[in-house]
Amino acid sequence: MTVHQYKKVKFGLMITLVGIVAAFLLQSQLTPWESSLKVFPIFFALLLYMVVVSLLKTRVKGVLADERQIQVSEKAAQVSFQILLPMLALTSVALMSGGGYLEFYYVKALGTVISYVTCLGLLIYLLSYWYFDKESGGK
Amino acid sequence: MAIKNKIKVFRAEYNMTQEELAGIVGVTRQTILAIEKNKYTPTLALAFKIANAFSVGVEKVFIWE
């Protein structure tokens, strides 16, 4: 299988997956988490997609991602992280401080959850930085 | 100061397409194009691979100027 064929098949599979997820979400009135049975087909479709894509990857003849593409992807991830994290932090502060004023109990709760997500993001960054620094010869 | 290269010159000398060189060194054609246009600086490993593909030293293909 060539890289071009692989990309075509992967795109087709992704569209199918999005269709399946959307269909199940609509079928369960956008609240599939209320019943584990409703969530199951979505998880199954996701799992199947991941397995099929990883199997297809092994059959590809050619370069899927070279060092330039990896560098581009790393830069994009870095920029996304640099934008997303301050946004999340600001949103959480705004929601937590405005929650009482707005008198919506869930606003404050949502702000708290977002602040934890922000902390988790920072923690993952610190741990991965520490790991990769050690890997590349840092103390 | 920047790293320039003579990949295009060597390719012409060896009558090699970007696709062929990319296949030899294990990257995509777009990466060879980006290196030729000095838009991407390859890693040392890739620089050596490219030089090896032309059977010359890395300093003959890549120049610090």
The ipTM of this complex is 0.85
Residue A21 vs residue B53, higher pLDDT: B53
Residues in chain B within 8 Å Cβ distance of A71: 40
Mean pLDDT (whole number) for B52-62: 94
- Give the three-state DSSP class for B1: coil
Distance, in angstroms, between A66 CA and closest chain B CA? 5
pLDDT digit string, tens, across residues A95-135: 888 755 656 677 888 888 999 999 999 999 999 999 999 99
- Give the three-state DSSP class for B5: strand
User: Cβ separation of B26 and A68 shorter than 8 Å?
Assistant: no
Q: Is a pLDDT exceeding 70 seen at residue B48? A: yes
Percent of chain B predicted with pLDDT > 70: 100
Helix (H) or strand (E) holding A98: helix A67-102
The whole-number pLDDT of residue A99 equals: 55
The whole-number pLDDT of residue B27 equals: 93
Those residues of chain B whose CB sits closer than 8 Å to some CB in chain A are 22, 26-28, 30-31, 34, 40, 42-43, 46
DSSP line for B20-55? HHHHHHTS-HHHHHHHHTTSSPPPHHHHHHHHHHTT
Residue B42 to residue B62: CA distance in whole angstroms: 10
Contacts of A83 (CB under 8 A, 6+ apart): none
Residue B39 vs residue A65, higher pLDDT: B39
Mean pLDDT (whole number) for B21-32: 93
Those residues of chain A whose CB sits closer than 8 Å to some CB in chain B are 63, 66-69, 71
Q: Which residues of chain A have pLDDT under 70?
A: 28-38, 99-104
Mean pLDDT (whole number) for B36-47: 94
Per-chain mean pLDDT for chain B: 93
Per-chain mean pLDDT for chain A: 85
